[in-house]
Every structure is written in structure tokens, then in C-alpha cells.
Amino acid sequence: MVSGTERASEAPPASRNTSATLDAIQLMLRDLHTRHDEIRHRAAFRGCTKELLAVQQELVEYLLSKKSQLMGHVDPVSGGTRNYNSFV
């Protein structure tokens, strides 16, 4: 039986890097989707809730685009707006 570590060491370096990047992107998307009440409260206190949500949406769109590139998919909505929850 081959362990995950042995399989990873047999994979070409580019493949490992891509896989690690895709994992990192997925984790970041999950984090962006998580409700962070403390940060939202600070944004409300500072009067920048709308801007916070806009930046969050930009980050999600960028990460989805990057993920799509790494997976070799063509983005059918190129240039269009995506739903914030479209990665779920």
C-alpha cells in the first residue's frame, strides 16, 4: 500500500505546487464564506461595511478565477458578475 506522502513524492513538482495552491484557494474561499462577526462589527463601527463586502466579493471572484485557471477550465462568465456563494 502506498501512503499519501509517497504518492506526493512521486508526483511531478508542478503538479504538487498546483495541488497545494488549489487547496490553499479552497481554504481561503471557505474562510471568506465564514461569517466573522468581530470584523463585521468593526466595519460597522468604522462605517465601511459596504466596502468590506465589496472587497470580500472581489477576493472571491479573483480566487475563483485563479482556481479555474489552475484547473484548466474556461470561465463561461468571463467578465460577468458572480454570486458570492457560487463557490459553495
**Residue ranges per structural domain of the chain:** 13-87
**Whole-number pLDDT of residue 79:** 47
Mean pLDDT in residue range 1-5? 50
Mean pLDDT of the chain: 79
**Whole-number pLDDT of residue 75:** 56
- Would you tell me how many other CB atoms lie within 10 Å of the CB of residue 67? 19
Least confident of 37-46, 62-71, 76-85: 76-85
Instruction: Say whether pLDDT at 65 is over 70.
Output: yes
Whether the Cβ atoms of residue 73 and residue 15 lie closer than 8 Å to each other: no
CA distances from 45 to 29, 38, 66, 75, 86 (A): 25, 11, 33, 37, 29
Predicted TM-score of the model (pTM): 0.64
Higher pLDDT, 27 or 2: 27
